[in-house]
Amino acid sequence: MSVIDMISIKHFFGKTGDGAWSVNEDGLITFWNQAVVKLLGYSAEEAVAKHCWQLLAGLTPEGDPYCAPICPVRQAIKQGIPITSLDLQLRHRNGQYILANMSTIPLPEEIDESVLVHLLRSEKQTKQTFQPFRIYLLGPLVVTRQDGTQVNGPLWNRVKTRALMAYLAMQKGTAVSREQILEMLWPDLDYKAAMHNLNTTVYNLRRSLEPDLEKASHSRYLLYQNGCYRLAEAQSNWLDVDAFETGVRRARREQDAETAVKIYKTALALYRGDYLFDLTDTHNWVRDQQFRLQEIYLSALADLAQHYENLGMEEEAIAIYQQILLVDCCQETSCRKLMALFTKLGKRSEAIQVCQRLAQCLANELDIIMSDKTRALYEKIRSA
């Protein structure tokens, strides 16, 4: 490139607000302005003389590879197709991808080395501040935004939309392949039908999370790259499951009983119901997590009840043991604790009724009889 040619490119594009770079016939970068440094992070020294497609590794908004040694943009322009607005994900120097809009100007023939100038501007969506969600998985799925509004609407009310959100939320930013999602949500469908359903569900979820989104593929929250989906900046989201488990662990480490009671109550208040119980009937993958979290919940309730007993708060302990039995009527240890407390308070008939309900529950639910330990306590109370 001649000095005059370089001066011309710098003159026209050196101080433009849009990022600008030029490439030669081989796809090597020949010019790189300051605006594109700010957008993509690479200095001119790092970019010039590098192959454009290797440096930026462009993807479509959907996450499919776009840039290649045979440049699709160059090929389109050779065929007389103007590139006035092309949305791409481009690789920033920090390794993250940014969504941007690009247009391309073919240079005059007399500028014999550089053949194209690409102009780049950040998409409106990428300039918006990322707003994390509060995601409630204990009970029916609820997602709220920073301003307190709740994600809702007809698209959100579809079971698969909520199931996809819940599953991705539990991955905490780990990318999940399309194939894994297909197997999870549509295990009985053939690949083509399942893929159609997935694309529809992804669209529905993006529109639910961002109702004002101009293009669903520009979502700030649900990202697709290299055949995988993930929630953007997932670590910024608040999950009730994490807060619940963290609170229970903290309560168990607490040595002071009164302080432990307060911590347990705060953690247990997050348990609005079984994990994603609104999805249990339609998705088997929910059940294992649901069982695990319910076990933590029941164990934490038992710990809280024991603290109440140690503090001489029998009525409070009774209420907690009754709460346990509402969830699982076959909990013999809690039944014995409740029988003993009722007896201590002179409520012998209530203690006997607890044992009778236990016997019925064990027979109906598990087809077994109560343990010798429970039966001995029952006989002792009845004969007193």
- Are 382 and 352 contacting, i.e. CB atoms less than 8 angstroms apart? yes
Distance of CA 171 to the CA centre of its chain: 6
Q: How far is residue 46's CA from residue 37's CA, in Å, rounded to a whole number?
A: 10
Q: Which residues have a Cβ under 8 Å from the Cβ of 215 and sit 6 or more positions away?
A: 61, 87
What pLDDT is stored for residue 127 in this prediction?
Answer: 42
CA dihedral (249, 254, 260, 262) positive or negative: negative
User: What pLDDT does 95 receive?
Assistant: 82
Q: What percent of the chain has pLDDT over 70?
A: 93
Q: What is the pLDDT of residue 2?
A: 47
Residue 300 has pLDDT above 50, yes or no: yes
Tokens at 352, concatenated: 């006997």
Contact between residue 21 and residue 12 where contact means Cβ atoms under 8 Å apart = no
95/126 Cα distance (integer angstroms): 16
Lowest mean pLDDT among 54-58, 99-103, 180-184, 359-363: 99-103
Best-predicted range by mean pLDDT (31-35, 76-80, 173-177, 340-344) = 340-344
pLDDT at 205 exceeding the cut of 70: yes
Taking all residues of the chain, what is their mean pLDDT, rounded to a whole number? 89
Q: Looking at residue 142, what is its pLDDT?
A: 98
Q: Over 80: is that where the pLDDT of 128 sits?
A: no
The predicted model gives 213-226 an average pLDDT of: 82
- How many CB atoms within 10 Å of residue 130? 11
- Extract the tokens encoding 170: 């539990």
User: Confidence band (pLDDT; 50, 70, 90) for 113?
Assistant: confident
Q: Between the CA of residue 378 and those of 65, 117, 216, 351, what are the distances in Å?
A: 71, 88, 63, 8
Give the closest residue to 136 by CA, choosing from 281, 269, 270: 270
**Least confident piece of the model among 2-11, 117-126, 130-139, 305-314:** 2-11
Mean pLDDT of 87-113: 79
**Residue 364: its H or E element:** none
Concatenate the DSSP letters of all residues of 12-46 into one string. HHTT-SSEEEEEETTSBEEEE-HHHHHHH---HHH
> Over 80: is that where the pLDDT of 103 sits?
yes
pTM: 0.69
Please state, in angstroms and rounded to a whole number, the distance separating the CA atoms of residues 41 and 37. Answer: 5
Per-residue pLDDT band for 225 (boundaries 50, 70, 90) equals confident
Please determine, for residue 100, whether its predicted confidence score (pLDDT) is greater than 90: no
The answer, yes or no, to whether residue 163 has pLDDT greater than 80, is: yes
Question: Looking at the predicted structure, is the pLDDT value of residue 345 above 50?
Answer: yes
CA distances from 142 to 135, 147, 148, 156, 169 (A): 6, 14, 12, 10, 12
- 125 has pLDDT over 70: no
Contact 277, 143 (CB under 8 A): no
Instruction: Kindly state the average pLDDT of the residues 260-279.
Output: 96
Higher-confidence residue: 261 or 123?
261
Give the model's pLDDT for residue 367: 96
Residue with tokens 């300039």: 127
Predicted pLDDT at 126: 42
Domains of the chain, start order: 3-127 (3.30.450.20), 134-236 (1.10.10.10), 329-384 (no CATH)
Statement: residue 124 has pLDDT above 70: no
Q: Is the pLDDT of residue 42 over 70?
A: yes
In what order do the strands lie in the sheet containing 19-24?
29-32, 19-24, 114-122, 97-106, 86-91
